[in-house]
Amino acid sequence: MKVYLNGKIVPKEKALVSVLDHGFLYGDGIYETLIVYNGKIFKIDEHIKRFFQSARMTGFKMPMTKSQIEAAFYKTLKANNLKEAYIRIQITRGYGDIGLDPALCPKSTVVIIPKEFHGHPEEYYQRGVHVAIVNVRRNHPMALNPKIKATNFLNNILAKIESLKKKAYEAIMLTIDGYVAEGTICNIFIVKNRTLITPPTNIGILEGVTRGLIIRLAKEKGIKVLEKAFKKDTLYKADECFLSSTTMEIMPVTRVDNKKVGKGLPGEMTKKLLSDFRGKYVNQFYK
């Protein structure tokens, strides 16, 4: 694998960052993960826009323009001869003396890491996955706003550890007030009485790019959509449930805390939305 590091393509073994980089010392950085279909990056404009939003919310002065980031993505993909992949860009505050003041870091560190990716196993989509509601709560927006895609991921990691102990595919975190928030790397949707429901962004969740596409697609198909806060009892009683993210697309959930969702199989609306999502947004890359 070859990695983009501060303007150069280097072998991963030589992609070295100082131990005094504030990304390493303090988790002081932001990132985005994008998916590549047949050599083309999916919804690149939306992802870069959100990347710049994270920069503004954390006081980062972006060292690259949108067009420079896009060019760097494709340069990295070409260097690795990748057409089916995911690609991650990360910018940290950079090298500096120990201390929390961002002014200690005169120059940001920019890293782009690609990885070959052909999607998740099809059996996950056929059978659905198991999620667990964990005790670790999602960061409160006034502490560390989940709208920031920050490299400080300890909140999510602790939730993931708890879900692994429960042998679950993914953790579902609640807000401090006990409302269903999101997974460690994904948004969540439920279906109840033919209505598609997902937590609103103002409770403290990431504004997922795929989440937004699903909401738009569902409305186009005449499905009633509510962005509404709900608690875990509502999740337990849902007719259907699925997760969404850049890499998952739409992932059916068939068990929550070992309780069946609906009939314990991917629901009809979930399957239809997945088919329509791929038909509208993914298949175009293979024509």
CB atoms within 10 A of CB 215: 20
Strand partners, 3: 10
Q: How far is CA 268 from CA 72, 124, 241, 272, 274, in A?
A: 40, 15, 11, 6, 10
Q: Which of 149, 192, 259, 271 is catalytic?
A: 149
78 in catalytic set: no
Strands 129-133 and 187-192: unpaired
* Closest alpha carbon to 198 in 166, 160, 172: 172
Strands (E), the chain: 2-5, 8-11, 29-37, 40-41, 85-92, 109-116, 129-133, 170-174, 180-183, 187-192, 195-198, 224-227, 240-245, 249-256, 259-260
Cα–Cα distance measured from residue 205 to residue 147, given in angstroms and rounded to the nearest whole number: 6
Active site residues: 149
